[in-house]
């Protein structure tokens, strides 16, 4: 007899799946509008972690209706373009900041690393102004934010260091149903 595997999930702003991502259940309705399930989206997540090596995870079965799916696909494309633009703009900005910092005595590698992060963040902000904002204003009806997923290394609730999957579910109603279906305990905010 085999016990059914259960995912272990925490909920913050996003869902953090600590264990058994393949046992995650998706509510059988469109993850954006609650309509019929016509298409299932999937992700291939891969990342090289310094201590844990290469981690490869397939995620599938994210349901969308026929109307929403093309909008989601466009949303994903825009996300990718934004990421590239953030680097294209952010790295030269960071390089300029690092160059001017390097003229001062006592510049450390840590400071340079920090400036690189700040530069890319500025780039990401600019890419929002240049791409995300106009798209939001002009193509509101043809683009939608996708359910997104990525990998992080973290200390899990049981204290063990490992890789978890972050799931970003932008639609609140669906996110709540997802939480319920997977037995996610909602941590009440401390007052």
Q: What residues are paired with 58 via a beta bridge?
A: 44
Only one of the segments 8-16, 25-33, 144-152, 181-189 lies at the binding site for Zn ion (rule: CB under 5 A); that segment is: 25-33
Query: Which 3 state secondary structure label does DSSP give 11?
Result: strand
Residue 34 vs 162, nearer CB to Zn ion: 34
CA distance 169 to 97: 36
Residue 11 vs 32, nearer CB to Zn ion: 32
Q: From the list 8, 32, 82, 177, which residue makes contact with Zn ion (rule: CB under 5 A)?
A: 32
Q: Is 177 in the site for Zn ion (CB under 5 A)?
A: no
Q: Specify the DSSP element, H or E, that contains 57.
A: strand 53-64
Q: Is 30 in the site for Zn ion (CB under 5 A)?
A: yes
* Total residue count of the chain as it appears in this document: 191
CA distance 142 to 38: 18
Q: Is 68 in the site for Zn ion (CB under 5 A)?
A: yes
The site for Zn ion (CB under 5 A) is made up of 30, 32-33, 35, 65, 68
């Amino acid at each position: 007899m085999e016990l059914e595997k259960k995912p272990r999930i925490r909920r913050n702003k996003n869902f953090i799946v600590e264990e058994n991502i393949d046992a995650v259940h998706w509510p059988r309705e469109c993850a954006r509008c609650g309509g019929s399930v016509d298409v299932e989206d999937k992700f291939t997540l891969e990342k090289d972690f310094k201590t844990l090596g290469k981690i490869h995870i397939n995620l599938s079965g994210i349901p969308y209706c026929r109307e929403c799916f093309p909008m989601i696909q466009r949303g994903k494309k825009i996300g990718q373009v934004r990421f590239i633009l953030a680097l294209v703009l952010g790295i030269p900005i960071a390089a300029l900041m690092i160059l001017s910092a390097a003229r001062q005595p006592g510049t450390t590698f840590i400071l340079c690393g920090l400036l690189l992060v700040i530069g890319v963040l500025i780039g990401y902000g600019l890419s929002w102004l240049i791409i995300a904002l106009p798209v939001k204003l002009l193509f509101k009806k043809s683009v939608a934010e996708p359910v997104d997923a990525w990998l992080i290394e973290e200390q899990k609730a049981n204290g063990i260091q490992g890789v978890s999957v972050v799931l970003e579910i932008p639609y609140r109603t669906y996110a709540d149903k997802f939480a319920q279906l997977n037995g996610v305990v909602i941590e009440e905010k401390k007052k």
